[in-house]
Amino acid sequence: MTEDSKKRVNRTPKNKQPRKTGLRDLLSPSYEEARAGIRGITLEQEVVSVEELKARKRRRTAIMGVATIIFLVTVIVLSSLLIARLDPFKKRDFAGDGNGTAVTFVIEQGETPQQIAESLQQQGIIADADKFVEVYQSESKGKFLVPGRYDLQKEMSSSAVVSTLIGATSNVIYFAVPQGKRVGETLDIIAKQGELNRSELEEAVKNYEQYGVPSNFPSIEGWLHPGEYRFPKGTDTKKMIQAMVDKTKEDLKSVGVTTDKRAFEVLTKASIVELEAQPKDYNAVAGIIENRLSHTDGETSGLIQSDATVTYGLGIRSYHLTEEQKADKGNKYNTYAHQGLPAGPIDSPTLASIRATASPEKNPYYYWVTVDLDSGETKYSKTYEEHQRYVEEYNQWCSNHKGRCS
């Protein structure tokens, strides 16, 4: 070693340690730590017996086995649910006009195509309800499945059943009028469903007295009874109108209405009740109308104040009226501006509302408001102040259900 090398070595401080590079060096104590008695971290190798290794292997195998079983069960369950929903193996349709086994099939009033399809499947007439609905929608050409009894067979194709059901009613005029419809709306329904001329229908109802409607009524409004009707193809339009009027006469007779004056009162009030209340509230609202009409000096001054009558006179459908519309005395159906009953009925009422009006509930209320148009919840009050609180509930409901109260 040269003299210069010795000098360089001697210049290194005695307490300076070489740089640690390995894991053992990093974990070993420094020079100062060693002098202080710190031993550092010691790595020890785990000693495992052969038995422990075998036990660990068995545990891993068991865990993998359980996981595999859970996975397989999940796959089977999901597959079963998918197959149950899609059922690719299910026969979706039969072929032909049936297997010769006769079946009398009944379509009940009010049944939907889906309900009819499910009944057909349950009786073994068709293979699949959903397939039948698909075929009906594509092949019915707007024809209705009319309630009645039909002669079918087991194991018919959906197309054959649709053809049979519609063909059986090809010589029948059928239409169904919902409750609460005005004359114009009713004629629209009859024309569309019965495939009749709308102008001929309108002409047929102009001379309403020919059907036995009293002359104290301004029109046939209130007399075209809601419900389902069937007539042979080619039936005279006037005969169909007469049948509807006759059903209303039967309703009036059933509640003891025998005079023209009483018929006007009951039908007019019932038409208001029909639109202003839910069936559960018919009797109560009928009683409130009686209270208002019989107390001309009270808080309501003999005014019914029905929005439904005002909108009828305006020829619109709406839940909201402006103050100008309420004050319009030119509207003879405006029960905000005119005391007593409006000029006549505002729709064709059902027997339920006719019965409620003929025998109204006796109650102390003068106001009512439906605070929830979905549930039909209606609240009654004795004073206008109390009524306003319920009106605020209604307004809040409208705010929470945009477009429902327009």
Each residue's pLDDT expressed in tens, for the chain with a length of 406 residues? 444 444 444 444 444 555 555 555 555 666 666 666 655 555 455 565 777 777 777 777 878 877 788 888 887 877 666 655 555 545 689 999 999 999 999 998 788 999 999 999 999 999 999 999 999 999 988 788 888 889 999 999 999 999 999 887 778 888 999 999 999 999 999 999 888 999 999 999 999 999 999 999 999 999 999 998 989 889 999 999 999 999 999 999 999 999 999 999 999 999 999 999 999 999 999 999 999 999 998 889 999 999 999 999 999 998 789 999 999 999 999 999 999 999 999 999 999 999 999 999 999 999 999 999 888 899 999 999 999 999 999 999 999 998 888 7
Q: What is the pLDDT of residue 25?
A: 58
217/16 Cα distance (integer angstroms): 120
Q: What is the pLDDT of residue 33?
A: 60
Number of residues that make up the chain: 406
CA angle 146, 151, 157 (to 5 degrees): 85
pTM of the model: 0.68
Q: Are residues 302 and 296 in contact, defined by beta-carbon separation less than 8 angstroms? A: yes
Tokens 């010589």 sit on residue:
171
Instruction: Locate 373 and state its tokens.
Output: 């148009």
175 beta partners: 229
Architecture per CATH, 102-167: 2-Layer Sandwich (3.30)
In sequence order, which residues have a C-beta less than 8 Å from that of residue 21 and are 6 or more positions away?
none
Burial class (CB in 10 A: 0-12, 13-18, 19+), 250: exposed
Q: What is the pLDDT of residue 2?
A: 47
In sequence order, which residues have a C-beta less than 8 Å from that of residue 192 and are 6 or more positions away?
175
CATH 3.30.1490.480 in the chain, residue ranges: 102-167
Q: What is the pLDDT of residue 266?
A: 98
58/313 Cα distance (integer angstroms): 87
| Closest listed residue to residue 156, CA positions, set 144, 146, 145, 164 | 164
Tokens 């001929």 sit on residue:
200
384/196 Cα distance (integer angstroms): 49
132/134 Cα distance (integer angstroms): 5
| Closest listed residue to residue 22, CA positions, set 46, 39, 3, 43 | 43
Q: What is the pLDDT of residue 241?
A: 97
| Closest listed residue to residue 143, CA positions, set 125, 121, 169, 120 | 169
Burial class (CB in 10 A: 0-12, 13-18, 19+), 271: buried
